[in-house]
Structure 1
């Protein structure tokens, strides 16, 4: 054991040092299981943690959901989601952490990823750059705890890239020096499979790295050989990963690919000198997440080593020139819009800008390692003065313009300067026997202290969910999901009136109609925008249903959180209410729990139904959701286009406070009379019937502009939306006065699409019952297969579904393959003849089999190359 430790301690320390530093910080912050907090924040708490729960569920209970899931909004392919979120081998660790313990699993995975990033970089330093001793874990820890890693701790799915990048570069060295293809092809293809997005950035970096590397070529013959090896083996890696890449490419064409920037502005996004501030300690906070500067912190040793690369006389001039040109390209990429777009796949990132900066940090630390090794980790006096001058200029620039940087402070500047001076002193001290023995240890300890300081000052600026905030709604949702699973084995959708996140559905195997993902198909938010539900480029929420939309989309069950008046005993286990739906009284209360109730919608349709062919011609209609729902129901039933279900209702009284009175409400602009005082408009109405009443709100009436109150309580509704949404202020309150209040948040308010409607419940339910007479009777179902029977009574009918259209769906009618087509610009439809038919729908990801064949062929070629080399 002693011999083993003596030989391998640099790599063991490269792994353990980042783990110990981060573990110490996690314990200090009280992250679960060391306290009441958790590692969940921003997207890790609102998105990724639910994908990890879905991953567990798929592997342990429902393998068919690997390809397709109806928990993804109304349904959607999942292979693209796996390719972006879930193919990291580290995710297997989550199998050991069920339910509320998933947060502890996140902490374990984070520690492992930090440790392995240090370990793989340490291997690169040891095996390719031939570093020895404590200098390996010192630089490896600088890499593992660089600013990008700390800032993107919450983006766990990206942290595999810094682990694999050193391995890929090791493989590239073996490829170009020893003609060994296996390591390079396997590590690069694995990175493409694990996360194609970060792999794309690594591929761009490899092209620049290869240009620098080839400054050492001996002759043109070797250069041509190296170019051939690099290009051919890189393409072979793409081939090996094709089983994932090809289906993912199709997925991107229906989701993120439709948001690609068409116009490019040749401009600098900010003054390039500003990025200097990101080399100081603690240069990260919440404001840096949506629109900040690139995360470039490396620590003093790596920064001075990078400068030394260009100051050292022991490094060839042509290598310096190539390194300078590559570095200049990186600097431009960090501030020049066209290059920034290129690194992000021609799409501006939504939050977390300059996501590729980890490759730049790798580049700088890599060059620093080369320079420090060649100079024996020592600076000459003139080199020290140069570094000191650069530091002084940089810190001086930040100090005199400190108000520009929301993360900077005089204290942080002093701490940064202190570590800079300490490292410069240790690199410049006279060499003696004692110095040679103690200096590596001193540098190691100072670097660790500096990295710990940056970690603490950066992450202290971020707030995290408590363990209770995660555990309470997770427990309630898991309990309701289990009740429904025991109660009903048929296919159904479930609407949520309380939620933890928009991804509760995939986390708990509920077809909940809501979803949040970067790979959400564009047609789904487009449809939600017409229906009157909150939507965005990467999310939808089914929170504002009506009796008609619930029925047509098959929302058979609704999950409701009890209010304080309904709770038998007071509790502090509050659930986040997403919607107020008094029209629940029209449904059957199925189950009553401790804090929640489950309602059953007796009018909910199946996934498919016999619809009139008028539905094929239903036009797209934004910002008139109740008109769209009317048109849908009329077209499906073959009713006259003049048939109405929603009737405009008037307010009995409107009170204007600190704003001028206007006779017309809808579409009117209101301004505060006195800008210093609060303003509000009070709307009063008394329902004439017990029918449900619905209120439409245009996007100008979101949380940024107004706060809504129902009576004296703030209206419980989803706060953000970009198209007109529908609220349900009252049902069954005939003769009772209802009071709505709009409190201004700004100096003016636009009542965009502000209309109150009454639903003719009897007529609407009559039409819905007509559709239920000929709905698809599902006999068997799984995540990627629907089997059942349906009867059509007229040649003017076809089979409509609420399954989102996707080329991966294949249909058989009475055993014969038939074509599918798109209806409503969203869903899947089938042409059928009158009579009773057996329907089988199966889903296979487009290009999956082709991708498998290409991958198989590529692995065979790789095997032949390996056999030939042996």
Structure 2
């Protein structure tokens, strides 16, 4: 015979293993490795998270850290990035997996997190309402609710979902005994430092839930006076938990400055309220993770029980009214934009809306469980009939009104499930079956519902083939490693091809390409001004800007699928069908420049003029690297022109005939011709060179400086812009040659002041500079206050230079240079956290003395 303790441990294990087995089964059925060739990679996992996790490993195994990285555009602080993506302790599991097997490791981690969601919820129910095996139904639902299935790409949030039941338990304990603060403070503190974004949402929910629970216990003014110590204890505990997390939160908040365009505080409705409840239906997810309704699916059984809760006479009327208000308030927060935005930290997310919708499911599960416990034959048959009528009525409404997510199939499926459940409840109310049999059937029905929903959702995701990912990682990783073995210096690498914008993180090299929600807009804009594609959320190398910019930023090696680059680079080596080109003019991470470099004007659409001005400012004289090409004629064919002031609007006149603008360029030298078109917005056009397509332009991934090749002197070439959709807007066209001789001469002048830099860690650089005169020393790193620069051991003032780069003043002679990055607010954050921790010990000591 098992002891009571062993029995509880067994069911805690069962609450973990059931979601694990179900989710594993769903993944297996959908062809995940090793049951098929697919990987867990889809959406943001493919384009962001898998690369971040690869970089995470380098923090432990190579010379990177959580403070700064050179694999993020030009370089950037990691405080906000790491706090959002990397601080989960579950990530340590992935240290066991080589990069090519990271998707498998991530899938295992997601499955384990879902299992632990079930365990934590079951544990909470056992503590609140006593140990009951029926809790398995509800804990399994929590682990496999619509939020987790649809938003599994946001696996970093699942840690907070594991902690949520412990936070709620802590609130209950604190209300029961104001001295029992620690059980609330610790899980809230952990949720904040694990992921500050969802941690913020849990802080809001904790406050709301506390108000809800304390209101249930206050009936008179005298009750309020008695509970004042509870209220003050909750307030103090919440503040202490927040203050203890300062070592993460303060650097994170300072790091995130400049990463969002603006607040979105408009007061308007976000959707049609009558459509919200369609997301309760099984299989109501139809693949939209950008503009979808809140993910509140939890199964027919839970919706039914939660609804019946409000009619359970064993539950006080006050509790039912307050519970209804609480739930309706959360629904209202979905509905009204300004409230929704507050939950998201005052900024609407890009994709995956209503990221706090799991809280509605959580609350409904609590109400449903309470309802189940009250169903000892006391539920009226009229309520069962009423439930069926409500379901049929709303389903008919959706069919008549129309719904994007619910059709006949979904209605018939849930109608069948509801009928089975109501029949079971009807039989149970007649005492024809006992509660153990009822539990068994309900468990089968609910898990079946969850499996059907999860399996259906998977078909809407485009999962990456594992072997395809592995082949890319192995080939590109081998090329990067070969470059590193060949050249031990500190430099940047870039590629003319990519799997994602985050390849520099995947392969741990310093590059110029990056995408995350934690990149500063001013740096993205700066890259755009230097000729790279800037779409507002990211910039990336693509096929590069110009050779000058490559030199400026120390791009020493280019990995290409082509046989040539159009730039004065030499072939270093070949690897399969790829070639590695070496740039002989790549500057080191630090170089001397004239004081004029701090006054370059970037406020122009002429990107070539910016680069010319920058080159001249660095040397203090004219270099003429970019020379404007002669455009002898601009021919407009079958297009109506409307001058709009800042731009010209071109519209096709006769739709049955070709329409275009064609520029005739007289070639007067054989340097590479670079082209850029300025326009007010994204559009759909195609470029042609002498009748040959050069691809689209003004597009999401293609709107940068383009290489149109070198041509024979004296030729006339034709560059044509054709609208794909009948019209486009154009500010101006720019055609420039990049003079390779002038570029070489410029490089020789700049490199005459010898500079060498080496990477100790990603936040610690050291080097030497030999300046021939008093100069400005430029580092090809974004200017940030966190950088401390020491010259011959003495800290020196840092300033912006060359637009957005870090610079210092340097005297003539040989100098040792050292750069150390410390995240803004790190010292103050640690100090506040330490003081808060000591204060926690103090109040715990005081509470203990009062016992």
Shorter-chain TM-score bucket reads: over 0.9
Distance 1:719 1:101, change over 3 A: farther
CA contact (8 A) 2:685 2:698 kept: no
Residue 849 of structure 1, CA deviation: 2.4
> Quick one: distance in 2 between partners of 1:822 and 1:242?
29
Q: 5 Å matches for 1:675-686?
A: 675=655
Q: 5 Å matches for 1:245-256?
A: 245-256=249-260
In structure 2, the residue matched to 1:423 is 421
Post-superposition CA distance 1:472-518 (Å, at most 9, x none): 32222211210111011111011221111111111111111111111
| Aligned partner of 1:764 among 743, 752, 768 | 743
Post-superposition CA distance 1:67-90 (Å, at most 9, x none): 111111111111221100011111
| Aligned partner of 1:583 among 566, 578, 586 | 566
Range with bigger deviation, 827-836 or 272-281:
827-836
CA contact (8 A) 1:692 1:759 kept: yes
In structure 2, the residue matched to 1:112 is 112
| Aligned partner of 2:608 among 621, 626, 651 | 626
Q: 5 Å matches for 1:818-837?
A: 818-837=796-815
Please state if 1:29 is matched with 2:30: yes
Range with bigger deviation, 686-695 or 626-635:
686-695
Residue 406 of structure 1, CA deviation: 3.0
In structure 1, the residue matched to 2:197 is 197
In structure 2, the residue matched to 1:572 is none
In structure 2, the residue matched to 1:691 is 671
| Aligned partner of 1:607 among 582, 589, 595 | 589
In structure 1, the residue matched to 2:269 is 268
> Quick one: distance in 1 between partners of 2:249 and 2:439?
45
Q: Which runs of 5+ in 1 are unaligned?
A: 567-580
Range with bigger deviation, 277-286 or 438-447:
277-286
Q: 5 Å matches for 1:94-243?
A: 94-130=94-130, 132-133=132-133, 135-178=134-177, 179-217=179-217, 219-243=223-247
Post-superposition CA distance 1:114-164 (Å, at most 9, x none): 11111111111111122512x211111211111111110111112222111
In structure 2, the residue matched to 1:500 is 499
CA contact (8 A) 1:611 1:800 kept: yes
> Quick one: distance in 1 between partners of 2:384 and 2:16?
31
Residue 779 of structure 1, CA deviation: 5.2
In structure 2, the residue matched to 1:570 is none
Residue 547 of structure 1, CA deviation: 1.3
Distance 1:343 1:84, change over 3 A: same
In structure 2, the residue matched to 1:489 is 488
Distance 1:143 1:622, change over 3 A: farther
| Aligned partner of 2:405 among 404, 407, 410 | 407
> Quick one: distance in 2 between partners of 1:233 and 1:220?
19
> Quick one: distance in 2 between partners of 1:713 and 1:102?
42
Residue 7 of structure 1, CA deviation: 3.8
CA contact (8 A) 1:535 1:723 kept: no
Residue 669 of structure 1, CA deviation: 4.0
Please state if 1:755 is matched with 2:728: no
Q: 5 Å matches for 1:791-830?
A: 791-795=770-774, 797-830=775-808
In structure 2, the residue matched to 1:437 is 436
> Quick one: distance in 1 between partners of 2:696 and 2:475?
20
In structure 1, the residue matched to 2:395 is 395
Residue 176 of structure 1, CA deviation: 2.1
> Quick one: distance in 2 between partners of 1:364 and 1:118?
15
> Quick one: distance in 2 between partners of 1:296 and 1:474?
37
Residue 559 of structure 1, CA deviation: 1.2
In structure 1, the residue matched to 2:291 is 291
In structure 2, the residue matched to 1:365 is 365
Matched residue SS, 2:121 = helix
Taking structure 1 as the reference length, what is the TM-score of the superposition?
A: 0.91
Taking structure 2 as the reference length, what is the TM-score of the superposition?
A: 0.93
Q: 5 Å matches for 1:459-474?
A: 459-474=458-473
| Aligned partner of 1:785 among 758, 764, 778 | 764
Q: Which runs of 5+ in 2 are unaligned?
A: none
Please state if 1:19 is matched with 2:25: no
| Aligned partner of 2:576 among 594, 597, 601 | 594
> Quick one: distance in 1 between partners of 2:61 and 2:716?
52
Distance 1:780 1:349, change over 3 A: closer
> Quick one: distance in 1 between partners of 2:470 and 2:658?
38
In structure 2, the residue matched to 1:577 is none
| Aligned partner of 1:671 among 640, 644, 651 | 651
Post-superposition CA distance 1:824-866 (Å, at most 9, x none): 4521111222333221111111222222222233333334455
Residue 609 of structure 1, CA deviation: 1.4
CA contact (8 A) 1:39 1:106 kept: yes
Matched residue SS, 1:367 = helix
> Quick one: distance in 1 between partners of 2:408 and 2:658?
39
> Quick one: distance in 2 between partners of 1:365 and 1:160?
19
CA contact (8 A) 1:306 1:367 kept: yes
Residue 677 of structure 1, CA deviation: 7.3
Matched residue SS, 1:304 = helix
Give aligned pairs, total: 838
CA contact (8 A) 1:498 1:560 kept: yes
Distance 1:711 1:438, change over 3 A: farther
Residue 390 of structure 1, CA deviation: 2.4
> Quick one: distance in 2 between partners of 1:591 and 1:122?
59
CA contact (8 A) 1:281 1:457 kept: no
Range with bigger deviation, 599-608 or 842-851:
842-851
In structure 2, the residue matched to 1:578 is none
Distance 1:837 1:204, change over 3 A: same
CA contact (8 A) 2:312 2:379 kept: no
> Quick one: distance in 2 between partners of 1:782 and 1:360?
44
> Quick one: distance in 1 between partners of 2:360 and 2:690?
56
Residue 313 of structure 1, CA deviation: 1.5
In structure 1, the residue matched to 2:840 is 862
Post-superposition CA distance 1:263-312 (Å, at most 9, x none): 632221222112121111222233x2222211111111211222122211
Distance 1:735 1:201, change over 3 A: same
| Aligned partner of 2:816 among 805, 828, 838 | 838
Distance 1:675 1:39, change over 3 A: farther
CA contact (8 A) 1:151 1:295 kept: yes
> Quick one: distance in 2 between partners of 1:20 and 1:378?
35
Distance 1:537 1:81, change over 3 A: same
Post-superposition CA distance 1:756-787 (Å, at most 9, x none): 22223322332232111125222564311121
In structure 2, the residue matched to 1:525 is 524
Distance 1:110 1:741, change over 3 A: farther
CA contact (8 A) 2:686 2:697 kept: no
In structure 2, the residue matched to 1:576 is none
Residue 791 of structure 1, CA deviation: 3.0
Distance 1:394 1:694, change over 3 A: same
In structure 2, the residue matched to 1:573 is none
CA contact (8 A) 1:38 1:103 kept: yes
Q: 5 Å matches for 1:260-409?
A: 260-261=262-263, 264-286=265-287, 288-376=288-376, 379-402=379-402, 405-409=403-407
Matched residue SS, 1:519 = coil
